[in-house]
Chains A and B, each alone.
Chain A
Amino acid sequence: MDLLDFARGPALQVAAYIFVAGIIWRLVGIIMLKEKPEFSDPRKPGGFMAALKVIYTRSFTAAPFKRATLYPKMLGYVLHIGFFVVILLFVPHIVFFEGFLGFDWPGLPNNAIYLAGVATVVSGLALLVRRLTNPVLKLISNFDDYFSWFVTMLPIVTGLIMPVRMGVRYETLLAIHILSVAVLMIWLPFGKLGHSFLVFVTRGTTGMVFERRGAKT
């Protein structure tokens, strides 16, 4: 078994198991905690619709905070959109997904994907610089922040250098790229990258609690 076979086979498979099991473990660990009953007389219905509302509305910044948070927010948007464009709209990725989903969807031209990848890395770098220099971020950051940044950037960077080759075999570069995805999948459930699924829980619960009070969400 060569490196590419390993990356495509057992590495990705184990990573997928850990990815799914880790997410379930973390979510169950949180959801299984006792819930206190709420007896106060609601001003508004709250419930599931309130959760959905806040899951959507918190994607945008409220007017009073726009100026202060504009820079990191813009970088955050670029990073997230760029990341998902690369994952979901790059034709070889679509072919890969089609392998186990059974259906495909139209992709973007390679140049557009390349641009999205570069934008993702640039915004990632800018966010890293900010984390290293901003007094607030310097204080509150820990290993998780830097390691999560590293494993997020790794698949994008290893993907971007594939056309460059630099004398390395294509198969080796592809194997490294897939392994970097495996590392990301293994780490995602455990650290701050868990926000990718926890965001629905945190925003949703805030929505349910504060909407029933009729309070600002």
Chain B
Amino acid sequence: MTTVDGRHTLDREAERLAYKPPEVRHDVQGDMETEERVEKAMHHFVKNFNSQTASYLDGCLHCGMCADACHFHVRTDDPRYTPIWKLELFKQAYKREAGPFAFFYRLFGFKKKVTIEQLKEWQHLLYDSCTVCGRCSLVCPMGIDIAGLVSMARHGMFMAGLIPHELHETAKRAAETGSPLGITPEKFEDRVEWMADEHDVEIPMDVEQADVLAVMSSIEIQKYPQSIAATARILNAAGESWTFRTDGFEATNFGMLSGNPNWQKEATMKLINAAIKIGAKLIVLPECGHAYMALRWMGANVYGKPLPFKVMHISEYMADALNTGKIKVKKVDTSVTYHDPCQVSRRGGATKAARDVIRHLGVDFREMEYGGDYNWCCGGGGGVVTIKRADPLRHRVFKLKMDQVEATEAKELLSSCANCRQSFDDSQEHFSWDYKMGSLMEMVAENLEEGQS
């Protein structure tokens, strides 16, 4: 019979194989005084205030329904991941400093001053656990665009030097080199030449006058270079006068994702200036969600006046070219499901375009349950995929996506966003998942009718 050593207490309650998760890291950039950081965070949050955002912060009912729409909350049941809670500090600051009754809030001490410790804690909520996918904005009975507010809060956090290091480094690299992955114009030119040879396709580069400026995302250039050839095939098939430019090729905008408006403006202006220089009538954006948001919907506001050209996501361009007969595709005998990039579909309004393209491909299309505008995000948007410490949480959240995809029993999974694709590839490897995400654009390029490719 076993006897218990009385010198040690017997703990029957502890979980077997329990481990203490590491403390969440709070990153800090620069060497500002504590007071200055708090001041900057709040000042830059409130700086961009307008009646729209003010009414949003004033209008919250505390009904908590946004929690049911957020993948981070749904998968963890952690109440901190309630979308509106991610803005609690900023709501507090707004009511105390800028709201219509700020005077009373301060006088009676109803809302306390935000502290640096709170801001550090909120870094995890505003960056690691929010992809700015905007699903929460659709459930809110008050119609509050919570995702838009998160972007504004990130602006404050960036200025206070309180963002995750990896995202900061990526955004800084993008600002310094023009690409988040450090792809220089020379390297881009090399990759384009390589793809032109490899795929035997003509790819115009640095043409001085062209109707269409095509741009790429660094993720594609680096990880999925075949996208370069696919873009070229489609634009060639459509008979466009088009070009890539070494002085404006990067579509991603990590200034926007990290919350630095100056870096956001620099990246946007490069594209705008390149398009104006060649007299382009159209910029065709690559398969990238946030690039669409940055140029299609925010570009003109950064520019300060309407853009002198049109902006289209590649899925919109393909839909238009197929609908008007500019390009033709062969029917493809397979079943397909489609993952909507949040910034293109739900928040960008181009949900129909991808479906038009899929219809032309003649595949057996299997929409995910509540796909399209209500699609679950890949979990890697909003810069989350760059934050290494967020990986375990991101993988946990990805399970929702896996279930959604598997339920369709489609043979192929497609999307139109390289960032989603990267996020899917990473999680696919993590889970040894059977599905491999493909590109809608590549499927079109591979199935252009004879004589067009």
Interface residues, chain A, with chain B CB atoms under 8 Å away? 25-26, 28-41, 43-44, 54, 58-59, 61-65, 68-69, 72-73, 76, 134-145, 190, 192, 194-195, 198-199, 201-207, 209-210, 213-217
Contact B50 A135 (CB under 8 A): no
Q: Does B88 contact A (CB under 8 A)?
A: yes
Q: What are 8 pairs between A and B in contact, CB < 8 Å?
A: A34-B49, A40-B300, A68-B65, A69-B68, A136-B64, A201-B51, A202-B144, A216-B374
Name the prevailing secondary structure of the A interface residues.
helix
Closest to B77 in A: A135
A139 surroundings in chain B (CB, below 8 A): 79-80, 82, 85
State in angstroms the CA–CA spacing of A217 and B300 once bound together: 22
Contact B63 A29 (CB under 8 A): no
Closest to A59 in B: B141
A40: contacting residue among B99, B301, B345, B351, CB under 8 A: B301
B253-291 interface bits toward A, Cβ cutoff 8 Å, 1 = contact, 0 = none: 000000000000000000000000000000000000000
Shortest distance from the beta carbon of A43 to any chain B beta carbon, whole Å:
5
B286-300 interface bits toward A, Cβ cutoff 8 Å, 1 = contact, 0 = none: 000000000011111
Contact B143 A33 (CB under 8 A): no
Contact A215 B348 (CB under 8 A): yes
A192: contacting residue among B48, B62, B303, CB under 8 A: B62
A73-B141, A137-B64, A140-B62 known, 10 other contacts, Cβ within 8 Å: A35-B52, A40-B301, A54-B143, A139-B85, A142-B62, A190-B104, A194-B58, A198-B58, A201-B51, A201-B55
Known: A32-B51, A41-B310. A69 touches B300 (CB 8 A): no
B138: contacting residue among A31, A214, A216, CB under 8 A: A216
Interface residues, chain B, with chain A CB atoms under 8 Å away? 48-52, 54-56, 58-65, 67-69, 73, 77, 79-80, 82, 84-85, 88, 99-101, 104, 110, 137-145, 296-301, 303-307, 310-311, 345-351, 370, 373-374
Contact A29 B59 (CB under 8 A): no
Closest to B351 in A: A216
Contact B58 A140 (CB under 8 A): no
State in angstroms the CA–CA spacing of A138 and B145 once bound together: 22
Contact A140 B64 (CB under 8 A): yes
Closest 4 CB pairs of A and B: A29-B100, A214-B349, A39-B300, A203-B143
State in angstroms the CA–CA spacing of A61 and B66 once bound together: 12
Known: A30-B100, A135-B79, A139-B82. A69 touches B50 (CB 8 A): no
B80 surroundings in chain A (CB, below 8 A): 139
Closest to B53 in A: A33
State in angstroms the CA–CA spacing of A38 and B52 once bound together: 13
Contact B59 A40 (CB under 8 A): no
Closest to B293 in A: A213
Closest to B301 in A: A39
State in angstroms the CA–CA spacing of A214 and B373 once bound together: 11
Contact B373 A65 (CB under 8 A): no
Known: A34-B50, A58-B141, A214-B349. A198 touches B65 (CB 8 A): no
State in angstroms the CA–CA spacing of A96 and B149 once bound together: 43
Shortest distance from the beta carbon of B416 to any chain A beta carbon, whole Å:
16
Closest to A26 in B: B100
Contact A39 B303 (CB under 8 A): yes
State in angstroms the CA–CA spacing of A217 and B347 once bound together: 9
A140 surroundings in chain B (CB, below 8 A): 62, 64, 79, 82, 84-85, 88
A141: contacting residue among B58, B62, B110, B373, CB under 8 A: B62
Contact B349 A43 (CB under 8 A): yes
Contact B55 A205 (CB under 8 A): yes
B82 surroundings in chain A (CB, below 8 A): 136, 139-140
A30 surroundings in chain B (CB, below 8 A): 51, 54-55, 58, 100
**Residue from the set B56, B100, B110, B138 with the largest chain A CB neighbour count within 10 Å:** B100
B137 surroundings in chain A (CB, below 8 A): 206
B374 surroundings in chain A (CB, below 8 A): 62-64, 216
State in angstroms the CA–CA spacing of A204 and B56 once bound together: 11
A37 surroundings in chain B (CB, below 8 A): 301
Contact B67 A35 (CB under 8 A): no
State in angstroms the CA–CA spacing of A197 and B299 once bound together: 33
Closest to B375 in A: A64
B62 surroundings in chain A (CB, below 8 A): 137, 140-142, 144-145, 192
A142 surroundings in chain B (CB, below 8 A): 62
Known: A30-B54, A35-B50, A138-B79. A63 touches B370 (CB 8 A): yes
Shortest distance from the beta carbon of B241 to any chain A beta carbon, whole Å:
21
State in angstroms the CA–CA spacing of A25 and B271 once bound together: 44
Contact B301 A38 (CB under 8 A): yes
A41 surroundings in chain B (CB, below 8 A): 300, 306-307, 310-311
Known: A37-B301, A205-B52. A26 touches B68 (CB 8 A): no
